[in-house]
Each structure stands twice: as structure tokens, then as C-alpha cells.
């Protein structure tokens, strides 16, 4: 609910499309509905959640963010252990309501990609706006409100993208947007917010006039199509579900938030080794063969060095037993045997001591999405 990793909650089941708001099982969804009612005076007409999509390999590779993210209240004092031990040992995949049929037809364009859905994403509570126009409220930036399409703050841009794609002019709507991971991690691309907002607008106003521009991105497609225990292979011919059962293999994705805002070193991408266009297919072949551990070296092969803190975190993780990893967003993501997760965490903390403004923080993840 806030832009602090210390506020991340373990997700549980989501309400069905026709479920009453008050009966939602996920406390974060209930809170979002409550905030909507506090802000607008009436309950939301619909609630939609889309998980964050994480592109592990392939797809378009944007440059690292160049601007420092806005400071987060309380971030420097949050405990580095973010997920209770029980949750680390048994991660519950997040689910979501079924997507409208006209959104399911989206297919990947461009380079192949391998993506997974995270257990954290964006919740959108929405309803009609009797006053006309749009009125958007952020649960992560309580002082911000967006009531004009001519002056859109960064946090509201994904929801406005969905509004503009839905109809011309955009339909009148009220929304509360709740991003479940801090913006400064760079793990949520905004595509999951477009997806959740598009589904909510479909509930309110029917099918969209056209897909949103983000609808062809790997992150959007992962948010829309992913199934628990599977990775999503995206090619121009369409999405393919590939088994990626990390708990069964005794593995976890360890997300390392180093708290850095460093930029890539000049020329770093030039000297990085190019994993080649077949890296995605090699990863898919390993997963089809029931060998998810084979993804680790491919993540290392695809890593673009140049951000010293992330490079150091990945080196420490590999030295402590991680099978491989790469920088994604402002975080390092490593594939780690569950048995050595604690050792990897300890080694990363020790290696980064004195290198960052605060100790690193960690999330463990498996491939989430709708139930298989």
C-alpha cells in the first residue's frame, strides 16, 4: 500500500468477478476497496488485480533508469528480512480474475522472451464518475490526485494509457491504484497497472476500442496469461506455458534490492557479452526437459554488467551457491537452491556492507499467476 518494501504483504486468494467487495479474501484488496470508499464516498463497482510480469530473458531491453527515484518514507529503517520464513518456504502464488476475452488475444511482438508473473502486482478499484472526466487516486502517493488528462503524473500514466485506449474520448471513471511493490525497485514496469485498469474499464464500459500500447509487452502478457508454476514463452506465434515449478525443484528466485540508484557505467553495455538470440530458446528447452536449474547460467550469460553494486551482489550470490542471476530493474535476481537461500542472503549482506546506504532487502519468489 505504501512505497516501502516493508509493507509488502503475502498475497492470498482474490475475489471472483462477482464477489462482494467485503468478502474479498486478500486484505490488500479489502484495503484498496476501503480507500476507494473513503476517497469517493461510495464503494467501487469493480476490483481488478494483475500480477507484475518479470521478463527473465529476451524481449526489449530498456536502459537502466537514469533518474533517482523519489525518496521513500521510512525506507532506510525497514528491516532487510521482508518475507517471513514460512512464506519463504511456501510461497502462495497470487491469482487474479479472468481477463476479458478481447484482451486474451494479445500476442507478443518482436524478440522472443521468457517471463514469469510475480506474487505482487497492482490492484485497481474502479467505478463510474458521475461528474464526468477522470479522477485517479494513488495509494502509494497519498498527496497525488490526477483529474486531468492534460497533466498526468508518472504514477497515473499506466492507468491513463488504459483509459485512452478504451475509447476516444476516454470514458468517465474513478480509480484507486495500489502498486504492491515500491517504484524504486524498478520491478513493476507499469504494464501490470495498464492490464488491471483495462480489465476494470471492461467491467464498467464493455470491450475496449483497441488494445493499449503496452498490451504487446512481455510484462503485460505475463500479467494476463501466466499460470502458477509456469514460465511464459512469448513469440510472434503466441504465448506458450512451460512448466517452471520451482518449489518442486527446490529452487527460488531471490530478488535482491540493493537500495542503489546508480546508473550504468558509460560503455558498459558495449563490453557485455551478447548471449545471442537463442538464449530464450535454450532456456525454454531446459524447462521443457524438466531442468529449471539450467536457467541459472543463462541468467548470468544475459547479465549486462556496469552497475557496481548489482554486479557485486550477483557475484556474492554466486559465490554462496546461487546458480546464476542478472540485474533486472534496480534489483538483482538470482536463481537459488532453497537450501542455501539463507547463506546467499548472509553473503550478499556481508559483501555489500559499507557499499550502500542501507542493507539490502530480499524477496523470494516462484512463478505465480492463475491456478494451473
Range with top average pLDDT, 46-60, 94-108, 192-206? 192-206
Strands (DSSP E) found in the chain: 46-58, 113-127, 134-138, 145-146, 173-179, 230-235, 238-243, 251-257, 324-328, 331-337, 361-365
DSSP-assigned states of every residue in 125-184: EEE--TTSSEEEEESSSTT-EE--TTS--GGGHHHHHHHHHH-SSPPPEEEEEEESS-GG
pTM score, whole prediction: 0.81
- Residue pair 15/29 in contact by the 8 Å Cβ criterion: yes
Q: Is residue 88 predicted with pLDDT exceeding 70?
A: no
Say how far apart CA 306 and CA 322 lie, in whole Å: 20
Q: Which of 253, 255, 243, 248 is nearest to 285 (CA)?
A: 243
Where in the chain do CATH 3.30.230.10 domains reside? 5-57+98-230
Say how far apart CA 104 and CA 122 lie, in whole Å: 18
Task: Taking residues 67-94, report their average pLDDT.
Answer: 32
- Banded pLDDT at 367 (limits 50, 70, 90): very high
Task: Taking residues 126-155, report their average pLDDT.
Answer: 93
**What is the C-alpha end-to-end distance of the chain, expressed in Å?**
28
What fold is seen in the domain 245-365?
Alpha-Beta Plaits (3.30.70)
Where in the chain do CATH 3.30.70.890 domains reside? 245-365
Task: Taking residues 64-69, report their average pLDDT.
Answer: 45
Q: Is residue 304 predicted with pLDDT exceeding 50?
A: yes
Say how far apart CA 126 and CA 198 lie, in whole Å: 11
- Banded pLDDT at 221 (limits 50, 70, 90): very high
Residues 6+ apart with CB under 8 A from 30: 21, 22, 24
DSSP state of 76: G
Instruction: State residue 106's pLDDT score.
Output: 40
- Banded pLDDT at 110 (limits 50, 70, 90): low
Residue 181, φ and ψ in degrees, nearest 5: -130, 145
The C-alpha cell that represents 286 in the structure block: 531446459
Judging by DSSP bridges, how do beta strands 173-179 and 331-337 pair with one another? unpaired
For domain 5-57+98-230, which architecture applies? Answer: 2-Layer Sandwich (3.30)
Say how far apart CA 26 and CA 199 lie, in whole Å: 19
- Banded pLDDT at 252 (limits 50, 70, 90): very high
Q: Is residue 262 predicted with pLDDT exceeding 80?
A: no
Three-state DSSP class for 252?
strand
Q: Cα Rg for the chain, rounded, in angstroms?
A: 20
Instruction: State residue 108's pLDDT score.
Output: 47
- Residue pair 344/254 in contact by the 8 Å Cβ criterion: yes
DSSP state of 186: -
% residues pLDDT > 90 (the chain): 67
Instruction: State residue 276's pLDDT score.
Output: 63
Helix, strand, coil % over all residues of the chain, rounded to 5: 35, 20, 45
Q: Is residue 273 predicted with pLDDT exceeding 50?
A: no
Q: Is residue 92 predicted with pLDDT exceeding 60?
A: no
178 beta partners: 123
Q: Is residue 165 predicted with pLDDT exceeding 50?
A: yes
Instruction: State residue 59's pLDDT score.
Output: 79
The C-alpha cell that represents 107 in the structure block: 500476442
The C-alpha cell that represents 140 in the structure block: 502509494
- Residue pair 357/272 in contact by the 8 Å Cβ criterion: no
DSSP state of 114: E
Residue 210, φ and ψ in degrees, nearest 5: -160, 155
Q: Is residue 70 predicted with pLDDT exceeding 50?
A: no
Our CA angle for 267, 270, 271, nearest 5°, is: 95
For 43-52, 59-68, 142-151, 346-355, which range has the lowest pLDDT when averaged over its residues?
A: 59-68
Amino acid at each position: 500500500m505504501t512505497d516501502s518494501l516493508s509493507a509488502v504483504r503475502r498475497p492470498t486468494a482474490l475475489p471472483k468477478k462477482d464477489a462482494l467487495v467485503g468478502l474479498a479474501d486478500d486484505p490488500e484488496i479489502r484495503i484498496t476497496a476501503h480507500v476507494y470508499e473513503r476517497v469517493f464516498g461510495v464503494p467501487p463497482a469493480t476490483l481488478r488485480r494483475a500480477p507484475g510480469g518479470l521478463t527473465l530473458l529476451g524481449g526489449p531491453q530498456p536502459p537502466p533508469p537514469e533518474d533517482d527515484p523519489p525518496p521513500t518514507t521510512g525506507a532506510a529503517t525497514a528491516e532487510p528480512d521482508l518475507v517471513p520464513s514460512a512464506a519463504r518456504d511456501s510461497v502462495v502464488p497470487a491469482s487474479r480474475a479472468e481477463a476479458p476475452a478481447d484482451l486474451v488475444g494479445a500476442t507478443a511482438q518482436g524478440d522472443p522472451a521468457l517471463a514469469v508473473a510475480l506474487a505482487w502486482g497492482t490492484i485497481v478499484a474502479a467505478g463510474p464518475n458521475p461528474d464526468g472526466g477522470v479522477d485517479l487516486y494513488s495509494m502509494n502517493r497519498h498527496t497525488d490526485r490526477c483529474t486531468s488528462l492534460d497533466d498526468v503524473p508518472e504514477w497515473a500514466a499506466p492507468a491513463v494509457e488504459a483509459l485512452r485506449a478504451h475509447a476516444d474520448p476516454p470514458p468517465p471513471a474513478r480509480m484507486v491504484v495500489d502498486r504492491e511493490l515500491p517504484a524504486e525497485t524498478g520491478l513493476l514496469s507499469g504494464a501490470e497497472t495498464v492490464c488491471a485498469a483495462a480489465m476494470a474499464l471492461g467491467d464498467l464500459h464493455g470491450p475496449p476500442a483497441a488494445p493499449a500500447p503496452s498490451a504487446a509487452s512481455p510484462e503485460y502478457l505475463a500479467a494476463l496469461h501466466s499460470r502458477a508454476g509456469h514460465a511464459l514463452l512469448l513469440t510472434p506465434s503466441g504465448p506458450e506455458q512451460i512448466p517452471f515449478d520451482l518449489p518442486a525443484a527446490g529452487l527460488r528466485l531471490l530478488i535482491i534490492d540493493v537500495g542503489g540508484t546508480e546508473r550504468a557505467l558509460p560503455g558498459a553495455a558495449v563490453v557485455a557479452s551478447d548471449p545471442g538470440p537463442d538464449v530464450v530458446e535454450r532456456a525454454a528447452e531446459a524447462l521443457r526437459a524438466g531442468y529449471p536449474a539450467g536457467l541459472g547460467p543463462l541468467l548470468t550469460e544475459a547479465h549486462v554488467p556496469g552497475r557496481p553494486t548489482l554486479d557485486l551482489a550477483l557475484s556474492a550470490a554466486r559465490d554462496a551457491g546461487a546458480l546464476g542471476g542478472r540485474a533486472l530493474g534496480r534489483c538483482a535476481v538470482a536463481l537459488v537452491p532453497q537450501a542455501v537461500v539463507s547463506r546467499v542472503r548472509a553473503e550478499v549482506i556481508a559483501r555489500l556492507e559499507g557499499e550502500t546506504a542501507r542493507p539490502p532487502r530480499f524477496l523470494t519468489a516462484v512463478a505465480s499467476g492463475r491456478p494451473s
